[in-house]
């Protein structure tokens, strides 16, 4: 009996210690765009294993377009211009215009 209690106590301690290192859980899961992404309880965003500080909705009209487009990026860059957003969304033929995965990721386009 004492041995079982000691084992249970050790397991509880291991679980509580491992839970301390977690930065927070998922507050909201967003599906239906280009990618599934997560709003975390600590205010950050996650997608494809990367953590981002910001969720940016960037709207404007591309050259020769009949209507406005909105790009939704998860980003560690505080501001992204509309021109940079649409070029990085696949319009540009230059890879220099694209974001590195740790910088920003396009999750929705409408």
What is the rounded distance in angstroms from the CA atom of residue 96 to the CA atom of residue 99? 8
Residue 96 included in any domain: yes
Strand, coil or helix: 89: helix
* Phi and psi angles of residue 22, each rounded to the nearest 5 degrees, phi first: -80, 140
Residue 89 lies inside a defined structural domain of this protein = yes
Do residues 58 and 71 lie in contact, with contact meaning Cβ atoms separated by under 8 Å?
A: yes
**pLDDT tens per residue, range 11-65:** 444 444 344 445 579 999 999 789 999 999 999 999 999 999 999 999 999 999 9
Full residue range of the structural domain in which residue 32 is found? 23-109
pLDDT by residue (tens digit) across 79-110?
999 999 999 999 999 999 999 999 999 999 99
Residue 4 lies in a domain: no
Please indicate, yes or no, if residue 87 is contained in any of the structural domains. yes
Q: Is residue 61 part of a domain?
A: yes
Q: Which residues of 83-98 are buried (b: 16+ CB within 10 A; e: fewer)?
A: ebbbbbbeeeeeeeee
Q: Is residue 31 part of a domain?
A: yes
In the chain, how many domains are there? 1
């Amino acid at each position: 009996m004492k041995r079982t209690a000691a084992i249970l106590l050790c397991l509880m301690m291991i679980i509580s210690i491992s839970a301390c290192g977690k930065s927070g859980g998922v507050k909201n899961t967003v599906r239906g765009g280009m990618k599934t992404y997560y709003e975390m309880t600590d205010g950050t965003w996650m997608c494809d294993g990367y953590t981002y500080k910001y969720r940016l909705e960037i709207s404007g009209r591309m050259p020769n377009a009949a209507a406005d487009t909105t790009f939704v990026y998860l980003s560690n860059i505080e501001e992204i211009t509309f021109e940079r957003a649409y070029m990085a969304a696949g319009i540009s033929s230059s890879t220099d215009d694209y974001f590195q995965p740790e910088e920003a990721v396009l999750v929705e386009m409408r």
